[in-house]
Chains A and B, each alone.
Chain A
Amino acid sequence: GENVEQHPSTLSVQEGDSAVIKCTYSDSASNYFPWYKQELGKGPQLIIDIRSNVGEKKDQRIAVTLNKTAKHFSLHITETQPEDSAVYFCAASMGGGADGLTFGKGTHLIIQP
């Protein structure tokens, strides 16, 4: 089955700086890569996703890049703000959707004031 590795497990950055979270996956058949943000006491919420037919997608301060050859994808957050503090999960799926999603173990992002 699919295996998703996520790094780092904890990331602390100064407010206003950029943050990058990286994930690798094992199955080259995976074609859907979402990112979820989980705030304390809440369920995860989708913030951005990318499919295998594109290499990069951007939404305001958030961007995701995908390298299918190397089987890795990354989340980039620019101009970080205190409300970006949360746990971020990457995931990969072969089904092109939520079916069979395999999640990484999460990154705890801490924005230092």
Chain B
Amino acid sequence: GAGVSQSPSNKVTEKGKDVELRCDPISGHTALYWYRQSLGQGLEFLIYFQGNSAPDKSGLPSDRFSAERTGGSVSTLTIQRTQQEDSAVYLCASTNQGANEKLFFGSGTQLSVL
């Protein structure tokens, strides 16, 4: 079946603008994660959704970052008033928690803030 889908694949924006990044997880997966991958760095955890529970937002770097997951499926990561240091690849992953801890990643959104 289809894997994790992210859109857009590339986003170029001007400093100070807001951006929205979308993630469509694998159907039936209850857990969804957002990670940030900066050049030469590892995968930085941002936020975690599990079913109907309150999300774990402990990785969000500032209050300019927020995310929501509607109907337990699609998720949107929003970055307000973008800064140049926000430039990175934003990766989404999903898993069917409890059955398999394997994370399935999307191909990511490359965000460039000019």
Contacts and interface: CB of A to CB of B under 8 A. Distances in A.
Q: Do A and B bind each other?
A: yes
Given A32-B101, A42-B107, A46-B102, A98 B33 contact: yes
A47 B40 CA distance: 21
Interface residues of A, number: 26
Given A43-B93, A96-B101, A98-B33, A89 B106 contact: no
A97 to B, nearest CB: 3
A43 B42 contact: no
Interface in B27-43: 31, 33, 35, 40-43
Nearest to A9: B40
Given A98-B31, A105-B41, A43 B108 contact: yes
B101 A43 contact: no
Given A98-B31, A98-B95, A104 B101 contact: no
Interface residues of B, number: 22
Contacts of B95: 98
Contacts of B93: 43, 98
Interface in A37-90: 41-46, 49, 89
B72 to A, nearest CB: 17
Interface in B65-109: 91, 93, 95, 97, 101-103, 105-108
A92 B4 CA distance: 23
A98 B97 contact: yes
A103 interface: yes
Interface of B: 4, 31, 33, 35, 40-45, 48, 91, 93, 95, 97, 101-103, 105-108
20 contacts: A4-B42, A9-B40, A32-B101, A34-B103, A43-B105, A43-B108, A44-B43, A44-B91, A49-B102, A89-B42, A91-B43, A97-B101, A98-B103, A99-B48, A101-B103, A102-B45, A104-B42, A105-B40, A106-B41, A106-B42
Interface of A: 4, 6, 9, 32, 34, 36, 41-46, 49, 89, 91, 93, 96-99, 101-106
